[in-house]
Structure 1
Amino acid sequence: MTEVSRQFERMVRQAQVESRIPAVSVALYRADRAPWTCTVGSSGGAAPLDERTTFRIGSVTKTFTAVLVLQCRDEGLLDLDDPIGAHLDVPEHGGLTVRRLLSHTSGVQREPYGDVWDTLHTPQLDEFLADLARAERVLPPARRFHYSNLGAALLGQAVARIRGGTWAEVLADRVLGPLGLSDTSLAPGPESATGYLVDAYSDHARPEPNTDLGALGPAAQLWSTASDMARWAAFLADPAALDPAGAVLRPTTLDEMRWPLTVTDEMLWTAGFGLGLILVPQGERSSRGRSAGGERVLHVGHDGAMPGFLASVYGRRGGAGTPGAMGCAVLGSSGTGVAVNELSHQLLAASARDDPADIAPWTPGEPAPEPYRGLLGRWWGEGFEYVFSWHDGTLQARGATDPPGRPPAIFEPLPDHPDHPDILRTISGRETGELLRLTRHPEHGNVIKMHWATYRFTRSQETFG
């Protein structure tokens, strides 16, 4: 065992003791190392606690449902701005859009009609859909973040209707199978952990019931191992590394899912929501809104809670030392073991810091194409200086004072106008979607000015006039 592994195990054991969690299972996945796993405690059943022990992952299930929805979008089976009623026969709330439901900004109430978490009566599909007529719209659409299990369940049932099967069948066929998540299922098995309520004022732990969620399954039904979930988290952070052919989802679609659509708190902005994914910026914040080292680090994934269980499943993007395809899962068998929620973030940060990715050597590349060689270097726009360069086969631009971790703008010639290399489209970074137009000297052919998103860029600083 390496010194770093000992450090990680100590972190897990400390969390298990401090939060008094009967069983904790942790896995760390990264593309450049063998997977690391650790279990502490007892499963509470006949089978011993080990890395094959499954735990309930609760709302981490929503990330799977979100991927299924985006698969349908990519195949042209739905649009994110479609009303849910276009894909599911509902008596009420049919106008809520897919995008609003994914980002928890639809305004629909949190749970289905009735006291589900008091009675533990979860409706089957017919009852679930019929009871929508009694569910409230508690906020106007797009007003603010409002978490909704009801909304996530609607999305899963819509996918099932579109695909002509059950949500479970579609999930197994289109996600679990292709990614090799063989230990992820809808029900507990013989090696599953028992979930507990740990008494606040004694060491007594009482078993919680295992509730089948019925039609609410797409919101929180799944069981899994830490190893499967760490791999899933790595996929959410770096899909090209685990799914290079894009069989499950295109990397650009995951980029879209990770774009923040709302924040979960109006004052602190410590977390946001994309399309079905929780986004948690990391690092000590400076007064100018970036980490002290200028790095941009994001943890993307989801937390989960069910009676007797907590789960935290996140992948890491950005920052010095972060390897490709990095994900961590922490699963615990206590509904009050709150250390679970922070331990995944702590382990991701510690792994990048104390066991950083190897530094690949720089190697020379091909020169910029002839039409773009003369425009490389420094330009001025709106009174600020920018640097245009050629890296990794693309024309790029960044502010001269941008921190190292800020992604550059990247340009591509218009694919439908190959004979016009002087008009390019911004495909990522600043001004995504906007045009960059080059103006050349009528005699010498060198680029003398540019217009990016209609703003003039020149070699020297100029007034707008």
Structure 2
Amino acid sequence: MPSHRSDLLPETTRALRHRLATAQVSARAPSVAGAVVRDGGPVWREGWGSVDGESPGGDVQYRIGSITKTFVTVLVLRLRDEGRLALTDRLDEHLPGTTIGDATIGDLLAHTAGLAAEPPGPWWERSPGTLRPELGDVLQEDPRVFVPGHRFHYSNPGFAILGALVERLRGEAWTEVLTREILEPLGMKRTGLRPSPPHASGWAVHPWADVLLPEPAQDYGPMGPAGELWSTADDLARFAVFLLDGDERVLTAGSREQMRFPSSAPEATAWDSSYGLGTQLLRRGARLLSGHTGSVPGFVASIWVSHDDGLGAVLLANTTSGLPVGTVAADLLELVADREPRIPPPWQPLAEVDPAVLELAGPWYWGPAAHVLRPLADGGLELGPLSPGSGRGARFRPSGNGSWIGLNGYYAGERLTVKRDATGAATHLDVGTFVFTRHPYDPSAPIPGGVDPAGWRPSTGPHA
């Protein structure tokens, strides 16, 4: 049932088809559609089962549930990048009138605002949005179940509030903002609030018999930003490429990277998973995946990307339960990653280099621990221990004023500054107050606590 030319080995394509087919059969899902992307586009796409009597192609719409939250996150981060808000701002600075005005925008994005998981009233995904016509109707009378900022607790109403925040600051419906700022630039023409043919119908599968029950496709009203969007395998593949490679028209590289940085502690029983800003994080062995799963009555969906592998995978199905969509999508990604590992681009020398930066290349010492500093092609620096596990490493981006800002690890957000003598020669590095010198405990550098004037000595003698 292939519906897309594969750029993979035949053995890999067959393994992907087998995983997709066994998932559809074991879950007894009416249909599934999957795709894998690499190098800016899809390398595999296939459907199994049927929609209206045909194998689902890449343009068949499915509801994607909570993947909607990742789109809303991009809209909020765009506002942050424009200077319209900060993640540390209280909600009521920009959206007054709610009962959670002291919640920060960052906590809402990371599900750490302590809000209840669901809105009041009947099961919101199976009831009409007219039951909650106003924004205040999405919050419980006592909306908090935990102290804000103390722990992760997934909250659908929190993203309803964030969608209203976008509408308040943009002055138009969040879906109109979404179309203009994300969907149109990325070419996602089959993603939106309402389906159009061809689209799958949502079904519940009887647990003990091979029969189906149609699920209602409700309009969620103010709860829409929590999970109302429809999309396709082709469109989600485009979004996976964006999450991997970026698009400055849509979001800055720094904000895109921040989305996949853990923003909350994982549950005590789930140390292999966490949550970033509007993204779920999943560790499978040494591989870190970021993306989101989605589930609403009649549909499940997942999108994962692995930046280290340069791969993304999406999966869509029209069944309420029984298909572990996040696991299967991760399996699709790993099948390609393990069978056809990423081939690195050819090494090339730097096109240009600042002599003052080139001077910094080579060994530096934090006390007696040897580190190596390397200038990077993007103007950044990489500092890491010479022996794995013997020190802290990080990448740094230039800040524009002769210093660099840490991007990851212990030194994330910390500043690397080069200290020079009267001749302009680099004497030491200050990395978040830690001193790195050209020689172990160089006495000419301002080592905190000083350096014993007797210097290094053998293990025998009066000082041993």
Identify whether the pair has TM-score above 0.5, normalized to the shorter chain.
Answer: yes
TM-superposed deviation, 1:71: 1.0
Report whether the alignment pairs 1:110 with 2:117.
yes
Alignment identity in percent?
A: 34
The residue type paired with residue 301 of structure 1 is G
* Structure-1 residue corresponding to 2:374: 389
Q: 1:218 to 1:373 in 2, by over 3 A?
A: closer
Q: 1:116 to 1:87 in 2, by over 3 A?
A: farther
TM-superposed deviation, 1:118: 8.4
Q: What is the root-mean-square deviation of aligned Cα atoms in Å?
A: 2.5
Contact 2:104 2:113 in 1 (8 A): yes
**SS at 2:136 equivalent:** helix
Question: Partners of 2:42 and 2:195 in 1: how far apart?
Answer: 27
* Structure-2 residue corresponding to 1:233: 240
Question: Partners of 1:34 and 1:126 in 2: how far apart?
Answer: 40
* Structure-2 residue corresponding to 1:42: 50
Contact 2:35 2:42 in 1 (8 A): no
TM-superposed deviation, 1:25: 0.6
Contact 2:30 2:319 in 1 (8 A): yes
* Structure-2 residue corresponding to 1:81: 88
Contact 1:112 1:135 in 2 (8 A): no
Question: Partners of 1:74 and 1:118 in 2: how far apart?
Answer: 32
Match among 128, 138, 154 for residue 147 of structure 1 = 154
Q: CA offsets per residue over residues 33-70 of structure 1, 9 Å max, x none?
A: 65421111122x47763222111100000011111111
Question: Partners of 1:232 and 1:194 in 2: how far apart?
Answer: 23
* Structure-2 residue corresponding to 1:449: 428
Contact 1:102 1:152 in 2 (8 A): yes
* Structure-1 residue corresponding to 2:280: 278
Report whether the alignment pairs 1:434 with 2:441.
no
Q: 1:307 to 1:426 in 2, by over 3 A?
A: same
* Structure-2 residue corresponding to 1:211: 218
Give TM-score scaled by structure 2 length: 0.86
Q: CA offsets per residue over residues 359-409 of structure 1, 9 Å max, x none?
A: 322223357533344443222114422111223144431111248xx9742
| Mapping of residues 325-336 of structure 1, within 5 Å | 326-336=311-321
Report whether the alignment pairs 1:303 with 2:283.
no
* Structure-2 residue corresponding to 1:196: 203
Aligned length: 432
Q: 1:381 to 1:167 in 2, by over 3 A?
A: same
Q: CA offsets per residue over residues 334-361 of structure 1, 9 Å max, x none?
A: 1113232211111111112212333322
| Mapping of residues 232-381 of structure 1, within 5 Å | 232-239=239-246, 243=247, 246-283=248-285, 291=286, 297-318=287-308, 322-323=309-310, 326-365=311-350, 368-381=353-366
Structure 1: gaps (5+ residues): 284-290, 292-296
Q: 1:458 to 1:101 in 2, by over 3 A?
A: same
Give TM-score scaled by structure 1 length: 0.86
**SS at 2:435 equivalent:** strand
Match among 13, 16, 23 for residue 24 of structure 2 = 16
- Residues 369-378 or 5-14, more deviating: 369-378
Contact 1:58 1:222 in 2 (8 A): yes
Question: Partners of 2:393 and 2:329 in 1: how far apart?
Answer: 25
TM-superposed deviation, 1:136: 2.1
Q: CA offsets per residue over residues 200-237 of structure 1, 9 Å max, x none?
A: 11112211111111110011001111111122122123
Question: Partners of 1:231 and 1:407 in 2: how far apart?
Answer: 33
**SS at 1:58 equivalent:** coil
Q: 1:191 to 1:127 in 2, by over 3 A?
A: same
Match among 69, 72, 81 for residue 65 of structure 1 = 72
Question: Partners of 1:369 and 1:209 in 2: how far apart?
Answer: 62
Q: 1:97 to 1:123 in 2, by over 3 A?
A: farther
* Structure-1 residue corresponding to 2:59: 52
